[in-house]
Amino acid sequence: MLNEVILMGRLTRDPEIRMTQSGTTAASFALACERDYAPQGQDKVTDFFDIATFGKTADFVGQYFSKGQLVAIRGRLQQRDWTDKQGNKRRTTEVIAERCYFAEKRQTPAAVQPADFSQLPITTPVPFSEPDMPQMEISDENELPF
């Protein structure tokens, strides 16, 4: 059967990183995905999805993803049943991300941006010359010194 989900959106919070009982890294976060269209005269609707990922992908998410960042994920939809503190049975639908990608250009910190040389004074170039170099005159093309 086919079960594939591809989403692009912004993280609503920093990823939560934890370890499973078996020692595998797990990351969870929520993704806000704005719909491409809106009925005339209305605002676009934003959907919020719970995302979970495990292993190396969770390590990657924990290290590089943060709140507000635009990301793309590819994974599968999964439902799981659980019981809350009051003993009520609950069902959760979430996306299990198998791949996570950056979806926007990373901002360069101001300290690393290229220097602005436009404010430097304009100087006159100095011709290159090597002092104390003997000048050789060649009288004929056939008398090259090498």
Strand locations in the chain, DSSP E?
5-11, 16-19, 25-34, 46-54, 70-83, 89-102
The span from the CA of 115 to the CA of 69, in Å, is 27
User: Tokens representing 39?
Assistant: 């009925």
- What pLDDT does 113 receive? 60
Higher pLDDT, residue 139 or 13: 13
Query: How long is the chain?
Result: 146
Indicate the pTM of the whole model.
0.68
At 94-138, the pLDDT tens digits run 999 999 999 988 665 555 566 565 665 665 555 555 555 555 555
**Domains along the chain with CATH numbers:** 5-106 (2.40.50.140)
At 7-30, the pLDDT tens digits run 999 999 999 999 999 999 999 999
pLDDT band at 39 (very low <50, low <70, confident <90, very high): confident
Radius of gyration, CA atoms only, the chain: 30
| Amino acid letter, 50 | D
Q: Which whole-number Å values give the CA distances from 3 to 6, 49, 78, 79, in the listed order? A: 10, 16, 9, 12
